Every structure is written in structure tokens, then in C-alpha cells.
Chains A and B, each alone.
Chain A
């Protein structure tokens, strides 16, 4: 078996940390566009200057090398959008600066980083740009950062909305550290996704004890009592027959069935209790929109924070997650039904 896992992974995944201008990142970052109305009405349609976009395209040789037709298209789109947003140059510069600052950290962590927020004023101005593409920054030449942004405009209603932030980590240690920070920030509708149960994550997430044992116990007792009632009803009350000289309701002969039914109903209780507590089966979930998430059942560790969380805020949540040094961060969108 090869110890080098890179060998067996799809190219996309392998290059993840190096050249973040990838298809899915652009897609995911695009999700900043349509914020929920209750988020102060600000649509953080993030912008970048044309110059920045060009620099991004020119500088990111690695990215260009792997960028296929789609990213190239995006570049064009970005240019158009950027031209349209030329008046927002000052704001965008500010955003680029932000991006640089965050990406330094990220560079330290050896990972590419998503960065940059748009100024609120600018965002408000472009609120109608429902399809605004988001920004992707990546390290270039010893930590120098560029933010590449696509912006597109569309007149139609948005067909998707942000569903959750998805932060990816390489190791369980990173995940647990990050989980502690998210927990301390007071989020509720968030989760960790791991390929196997990571010990210590219960505390790191601040989860309370599971109630499944209670469900199992109750079901087991129902099984026990129903065994007694069943046997006494059938063999002692409804049709008492004396067999082998034993009294119809004798206790010892009930023991095996009492035991078996206790076990059987405990098993059913545990199975259905598990499915109920985990709200499974749930075959459709916005988190599956992310292609990167497929590694969650392999060797990557994820934190997701849902937009449904009362504390969720596109900017603040993003900043919080960036602080935890994810190897990748994206905003996952779901189709509006």
C-alpha cells in the first residue's frame, strides 16, 4: 500500500493547497452573492479592481496552468464585472489589503486562502448583481497575495442561496482546535464532519450527553414487559394448557423469551433511536453541494456552520473560520426550492 496518499488522489484534490484558483473554489466563493434579507440587507457582492484581476491572472502561473476553460471564462467575466465596478476602486483596494493580511496567515499554514470582503457600501450598490462572483485570493511569490474576483450580473431572481460555510482541515488536531473556537463563539447550528469518530470532539463541540441509551432502555423494558404479558396472556389466561406437568404460568420457562424480546426491542429502539436522533435518512443536504466534502468520508475533517444559525453572519463567520486556519474554506450554496 502506498503511504503517499497524494498518489491516489484526484489531481484537483492534490493541488488544493497550492493553487486555489480552482473551479469549485470559484463556485463556492461565488456564494457570497445573495445574502439573507435579515443580514442587514447587505449583499456582500465583493469586488476587485481590474488591475487586481489582471494581476491575479498574470501572476498565478500555477493556477493558469491547471485552470481549464471554465476559470478562463471566469476571468473574462471578472474583467467585465470589474470594469463595471471601477468606481469602487478604493473599496476594492481595501478589500485586497484585507485579503493580503489573511492570506499571510494562511501562507504560514501552508495553505491557500480565501479572502477579502467587499465594502458594505459597494455591496449595497451592487445588490442587484445577484450572481456576483466571489473573490479568491492565493499566495504568489513568497506570500504576496492577490485577490481574483469574478463578478457577474444577472437580472433574474437568485436560484440559490448560501447554506453553510464549510472549512476543511487536514488533521484531527486542527479540527478540534477549530471546533473549540467555533464553540466558544457561541454557534449552535454547526457541525464537525469526520471520517471516523474523533475522540475529544464531544467536549470540543460542547455537546451534551446523547440520549440514545435512554431510548434503548425504555424499548428494552417494553420488550421485557411485553414478553411477560404475552406469555401470561397466551399460555396462562387465554388458553391455559398443562404440558409436561408444569403449571401454565410458570416463571422459569418464561426467562428465555423475556430475555430475547428485551434484546430484540432494545435493538430496534437503538436503531430507530439512532435514526431519529440523527435525523437520518436525509439523502439531500446542502453540504453535498460541495465536491470537496466527499473527502469527509476519506481523510479530511470539516466544520460546517449553517446560515440558519442565529449568530451567522457572512463576514464574521468567515473571519472566525479563517482564524482557525482551515486548509480550505468555502461557502456552500443550495438551490432555492
Chain B
């Protein structure tokens, strides 16, 4: 604890309205899983299941035909599959950032959104994993990636960044699931104790592992949570760094860049926050959770997006500077011809044919978030909804630009080509939204989507005030009005 005033200002206190009781929190969160699903939920759920079916059909088709049904071919061997993989992995990063990094910085406002974001991480990483798994061409041999003794007497090549990626993504998925589940245990116990039917009680009870709120458990639990936060923080930074190594350790102009790790991590957080917010806005209005997730939360998240958006913009600019400053014509070719579209023309005097993807990326990722400088925009739900959608699109284009525009016009005339997505590229990508949203909607329907115990612990009256140590909250002034309650919309 021992929190100093500046941290208070940053939002150590919960952003909930004053006078919120513990029971209010329990009620507000649990009712979502106990009442009948609102119509909006079904409106979202049924199309999601349909999309999930589409994804499964696409996978069956792809497995039966081979990955030639994708548009990847010489010279763009990596295209939508890896774009989608990196995009989904990036989406996942916001969850860990919110649950772990903001935890370490004692940003207690996170408690209203962290469970939500953690779930998103898990589902996004699952969606991401589909693409490289299929891209191996024979997914039933994917177990070769694991260091298992085998009749071939061979081992994975640990010098390969792709191998690092396997370890990073699987570790990330595993740790995210564990972190998420450990956080869920006390809240599952809450649901168990509120359940009216024996079956429901037993299901939640089984998952809650017999949690009884014992402080002897809380003591270990809190430390465990801290450890998870402490290991997840470098983990989340490492995952996207390692994903960027897939590119950066190669010798492709456009990929072979030392700024990739921080650039990728900033982009991941950027896109992750955007999707968290997009979903949060939908869920909040469907489930009427305006008192738990306030405009103040949104405002803070928008500031994050503004910050990471500027970092990403800086990285874009830096790549051009390096291309020019290095004097490497191949590097310049990729950036000016393949991406920017002008400055370097081909023999027929044309721009690189995929120039529009670069400009789509810049407009969505750099220009759009600049609107968040204005508080009016940051606190306007329709405005931020539109901007976050733009950011989601822009970040997809960023990966597309990095991957395809580096490959499609290579050193040799013989490896000049372009990339055209096939319908299975498109449908499979859409289908992963089905997987994501199906899992996500099931999650918000059956699992407490807000960390009940954590929110309770941030309420002003949550902790005894008599304790001899000089806690800041000993002074009444520090208590109530640190963060003014957000106006309900």
C-alpha cells in the first residue's frame, strides 16, 4: 500500500460512484450470469456461432484441399495467415497489460475491465494459434514443434525464431489461462454461493475448488497474484518481441530492422486496447453496466491509445528515416516503392500496386487516434467506438503491410508478383471472429466478467482504517473524492 498522493491521482481508487456497497458490486456483476440473457446477447451470439461454423467448414475444406487454397504463393509466401496471426496475438496483449502491468502500477481502475480483457487475451491467442498451425501445411504433424523424443532422432532447432515463437505463444497462452483462472476462483465461489439450483451450485462449486474466502488463502493468493503480474509483464513484452523476431532476424528489406520489438509491442497494446474498448462499449450497452464501467475508464483507455498510437506513428516514420539514411537501395525500394507508393517508380513508371494498404494503415493508426487529444472525443461513446474500429482495421493493415509489401516485389525480377486473397483467406479470417465472439459471449454470459473481489477491494470502505501504520486513507480527505464519480451517461 503506502500509496503516495500522485498515485492516487493516477487512479488508485476505484472509479465507482461513492456509496457503492459490496453487495451492489456482487449484484451488478452476478445478475448478468443469473438473469435471462438480454436480447442483444442473442443478437450477437447466433451470428457468432454461424461464423464459428464457417470457420470450421473453412478449416475442413483447407485440410482436405491443402493450403494451396490460400492466396499465398511466390513471392508472397506469408500473407493473410501470418497477418491474421500477428493481428490476433497483438489483440491479446491488452489483456495482460491491463491485468498485470496496471496491477503493478497500482492502477486500481483496471479492476472494472481486467477480467474482461484477460478473457479476450485467451480467446484472441486461441484464434491466433489457428493460423500458424494451419500454415505448417500438415497440422497433424504440428507436434514436431514440441521437443519430444522420436524415431527420427531429431530435435527442434532452437536457433530458429519460429521455434521461439512456438514457445512464446504457448507460454503466453498457458500463463494467461492460469492467471485468468486464478483470478476467477473467488468470483466463481461468489456465483456458487448465490446459485439457486443444486446443479448450478455444483458446477460453479467444482470450478471454485472449494474456495471459502479464507484469509490464510487470501494471503497466499495475493502474493501469487503479484507473482503472476510480475512474470506476465515481461512475458507480454517478450511475446510480441519474439513475434517480431520472426521478421527481424531475416534478411528481408522491410523486415530486417532493430526497432521491430518495441514497435510491435506498442502496436500490440494499441490494437489490444482498441478491441477491448470496442467490445466493452458493446457489452456495456447490452448489459447496462454503466455504473461499473464508467466514462472515466474509457477516458483513461483512450489516453493509452493516443500514447501507443503516437509510438506506432514514430516507428513508421523511423523506418523511412532508416531506409533513407542507410543509403541501402533495397531498403528504400521496399519503403518508398512497395509501401509509400511514390518516389521510386518501376520501369513502367508505376507506384507499387499495394500502396493503398500503406495509406490505409497510416490513416487509421496515426491520424485517427489524434482525435483523442480532445477530451470531448475521449468521452464520447460514438466517437470512440468509431475510432477504435478504425484502429482495429489499421492494425490489421499494419501487419499486412509489413508482411506482404516486403515480399511482393523482391530483389529479382523473377520474384515480382502481387498477392490476391482467395475467398478462403477471407472466410477463414471472418470465421475466427466467430470463434472469438462465441467464446467471448459464452464467457460474459456464464462467468463473472468483472473481477468482483478485486472491485470490492478498491471500494473506499474496503479496508480497516484503524491500523496503526500511516496509510494514506487514514485521512478522511484522501478517502471519498479522490476520483470524482463519473457522470452517468
Task: Report A199 CB to chain B, min CB distance, Å.
Answer: 4
Structural contact, A267 and B164, CB atoms closer than 8 A: no
Structural contact, B213 and A296, CB atoms closer than 8 A: yes
Q: Please tell me if B22 contacts chain A, counting CB pairs below 8 Å.
A: yes
Q: Please tell me if A160 contacts chain B, counting CB pairs below 8 Å.
A: no
Q: A195-B22, A210-B223, A253-B158 are in contact. Are A283 and B210 (CB under 8 A)?
A: yes
Q: Which of B156, B231, B466, B467 contacts A234 (CB 8 A)?
A: B156
Nearest residue in A to B176 (C-beta to C-beta)? Answer: A267
Nearest residue in A to B30 (C-beta to C-beta)? Answer: A298
Structural contact, A298 and B194, CB atoms closer than 8 A: yes
Q: A243-B159, A246-B159, A256-B245 are in contact. Are A193 and B214 (CB under 8 A)?
A: yes
Nearest residue in A to B466 (C-beta to C-beta)? Answer: A173
Please choose the segment from B101-109, B185-193, B269-277 that sits at the chain A interface, where 4 or more of its residues have CB less than 8 A away.
B185-193
Most buried by A among B22, B168, B206, B215: B215
Task: Report B154 CB to chain A, min CB distance, Å.
Answer: 6
Structural contact, B464 and A281, CB atoms closer than 8 A: no
> In the complex, which residues of chain A have a beta carbon less than 8 angstroms from the beta carbon of B1?
199
Structural contact, A212 and B186, CB atoms closer than 8 A: no
> In the complex, which residues of chain A have a beta carbon less than 8 angstroms from the beta carbon of B171?
260-261, 263-264, 267
Q: Which of A177, A210, A213, A299 contacts B22 (CB 8 A)?
A: A299
Structural contact, A207 and B159, CB atoms closer than 8 A: no
Nearest residue in B to A198 (C-beta to C-beta)? Answer: B463
Give the interface size class of chain B: 35 or more
Q: Which of A173, A253, A263, A296 contacts B212 (CB 8 A)?
A: A296
Structural contact, B216 and A198, CB atoms closer than 8 A: no
Q: Please tell me if B153 contacts chain A, counting CB pairs below 8 Å.
A: yes
Q: Please tell me if A257 contacts chain B, counting CB pairs below 8 Å.
A: yes
Please choose the segment from A2-10, A102-110, A123-131 that sits at the chain B interface, where 4 or more of its residues have CB less than 8 A away.
A2-10
Structural contact, B210 and A285, CB atoms closer than 8 A: yes
> In the complex, which residues of chain B have a beta carbon less than 8 angstroms from the beta carbon of A282?
209-210
Cα-based distance from A196 to B189 in the complex (angstroms): 11
Q: A172-B463, A260-B164 are in contact. Are A210 and B220 (CB under 8 A)?
A: yes
Structural contact, B155 and A173, CB atoms closer than 8 A: no
Structural contact, B164 and A256, CB atoms closer than 8 A: yes
> In the complex, which residues of chain A have a beta carbon less than 8 angstroms from the beta carbon of B210?
280-285
> In the complex, which residues of chain A have a beta carbon less than 8 angstroms from the beta carbon of B163?
257
Q: Please tell me if B381 contacts chain A, counting CB pairs below 8 Å.
A: no
Structural contact, A8 and B23, CB atoms closer than 8 A: yes
Cα-based distance from A246 to B158 in the complex (angstroms): 12
Q: Please tell me if A271 contacts chain B, counting CB pairs below 8 Å.
A: yes
Q: Please tell me if B205 contacts chain A, counting CB pairs below 8 Å.
A: yes
Q: Please tell me if A191 contacts chain B, counting CB pairs below 8 Å.
A: yes
Structural contact, A194 and B213, CB atoms closer than 8 A: yes
Q: A196-B186, A261-B167, A263-B171 are in contact. Are A210 and B219 (CB under 8 A)?
A: yes
Structural contact, B21 and A299, CB atoms closer than 8 A: yes
Q: Which of A196, A235, A283, A302 contacts B209 (CB 8 A)?
A: A283
Structural contact, B22 and A270, CB atoms closer than 8 A: no
Task: Report A168 CB to chain B, min CB distance, Å.
Answer: 12
Structural contact, B215 and A201, CB atoms closer than 8 A: yes
> In the complex, which residues of chain B have a beta carbon less than 8 angstroms from the beta carbon of A296?
193, 212-213
Structural contact, B22 and A298, CB atoms closer than 8 A: yes
Most buried by B among A195, A207, A230: A195
Cα-based distance from A239 to B147 in the complex (angstroms): 13
Q: Which residues of B contact A (CB under 8 A)?
A: 1, 19-24, 26-28, 147, 153-161, 163-164, 167-168, 171, 174-175, 178-179, 182, 186, 189-190, 192-194, 205-206, 209-224, 227-228, 231, 234-235, 238, 242, 245, 291, 452-454, 456-457, 461-467, 469
Q: A201-B215, A280-B210 are in contact. List 6 more A-B contacts (CB 8 A).
A: A172-B461, A196-B453, A196-B462, A253-B158, A259-B234, A285-B212
Rank and list the top 7 A-B pairs by shortest CB-CB distance, nearest first.
A234-B155, A5-B23, A299-B22, A281-B209, A294-B193, A256-B164, A197-B218
